[in-house]
Amino acid sequence: MISLDHLTKRYGDRVAVDDLTLRLRPGAVTGFLGPNGAGKSTTMRMILGLDRPTAGRALVGGRPYHELDNPLRTVGALLDARAVHPGRGVRAHLLALARGNGIPKARVGEVLETVGLGAVAGKRAGTLSLGMSQRLGIAAALLGDPEVLMFDEPVNGLDPDGVRWVRRLMRSLAGEGRTVFVSSHLMSEMQLTADHLVVIGKGRLLADAPLGEVLAATAVLVRTPHAGDLAVRLAAAGVAVERRGENELVATGAPIERIGDLAHEAGVRLHELSPREPSLEQAYQELTAGSVEYGSAR
């Protein structure tokens, strides 16, 4: 398990991570989401002891990373797929990690086959594509057969088959009872992979909930020739309403049954009342609307 207690990181006047308290439990894939600059990578680096917190603490299995007896056997991580000496061979890189951590040589061959790099084990790391480098980084994370795994944007550079492979791998690792913590900007992929979501913005916690709860606030599409009257009635009842045309509304903040009852009470004739497809991208945009630090001009 990964535990964060009031974890904070400042760089001068800038707060990169702001008082995060989390419990990331085993047996689940936890997706870590947030806009660019939200503090995701900084949080992961503090968990791994690469950055020192300004305040608070990060624990893996109840201990700071630097106090772990066999770090690679406890937590495996991929933060930067290119952080490998370019002149070192694929197998040689993994062998060096294994020898330095008391891991049997046979394990190198096992993880190479797991990630599909057995045929290129003799190639130098600097000649690999980004997708193959990602696979090498995943192999290194798996090398110690750890109980905790952390991946920062692991599907960057992978083709569709590779993305599906990573998805299956993450879910199988969680199914074995491991703690799997994955950051990504691919909302559709996180919706298919994650069991639980942690969303941060400007270093602050915005959501810490099961995927289903994040998606539960599904919008409801309403079509009626009396859209204006119904919008007023819904807003008075505390339902958020967005006009999408003369005869169309999108309502959030109430179940579809409640919206239908309010329309009936108002005597409004409906042409359509249907839930919109649950979308993590939509939920994410709503959660982070006020936390985008590096937005582009439109």
| pLDDT tens digits, 149-182 | 999 999 988 999 999 999 999 999 999 999 999 9
When mean pLDDT is compared over 13-22, 242-251, 276-285, the highest value belongs to 13-22
- Identify whether residues 85 and 197 lie together within a single domain: yes
What integer pLDDT is reported at residue 244 of this predicted model? 85
What integer pLDDT is reported at residue 292 of this predicted model? 66
- Identify whether residues 177 and 250 lie together within a single domain: no
pLDDT at residue 298 tops 70: no
What integer pLDDT is reported at residue 124 of this predicted model? 96
- Identify whether residues 115 and 8 lie together within a single domain: yes
What integer pLDDT is reported at residue 57 of this predicted model? 97
- Identify whether residues 49 and 136 lie together within a single domain: yes
SS (H, E, C) the chain: CEEEEEEEEEECCEEEEEEEEEEECCCEEEEEECCCCCCHHHHHHHHCCCCCCCEEEEEECCECHHHCCCHHHHEEEECCCCCCCCCCEHHHHHHHHHHHCCCCCHHHHHHHHHHCCHHHCCCEHHHCCHHHHHHHHHHHHHCCCCCEEEEECCCCCCCHHHHHHHHHHHHHHHHCCCEEEEECCCHHHHHHHCCEEEEEECCEEEEEEEHHHHHHCCCEEEECCCHHHHHHHHHHCCCEEEECCCCEEEEECCCHHHHHHHHHHCCCCCCEEEECCCCHHHHHHHHCCCCCCCCCCC
- Identify whether residues 204 and 249 lie together within a single domain: no
- Identify whether residues 35 and 130 lie together within a single domain: yes
Work out the mean pLDDT of the chain and round it to a whole number. Answer: 92
What integer pLDDT is reported at residue 151 of this predicted model? 97
Q: With pLDDT > 70 as the criterion, what percentage of the chain qualifies?
A: 95
pLDDT at residue 128 tops 50: yes
Query: For residue 214, is it within any domain?
Result: no
Q: What is the CATH number of the domain that holds 266?
A: 3.30.70
What integer pLDDT is reported at residue 295 of this predicted model? 54
Q: Is the pTM of this model over 0.85?
A: no
Name residue 31's beta-bridge partners. Answer: 182, 197
Query: For residue 83, is it within any domain?
Result: yes
pLDDT at residue 277 tops 80: no
Query: For residue 296, is it within any domain?
Result: no
**Mean pLDDT within 237-260:** 88
Range of the domain at 240: 219-277
What integer pLDDT is reported at residue 217 of this predicted model? 59
| pLDDT tens digits, 54-107 | 999 999 999 999 999 989 999 999 999 999 999 999 999 999 999 999 999 999
- Identify whether residues 44 and 152 lie together within a single domain: yes
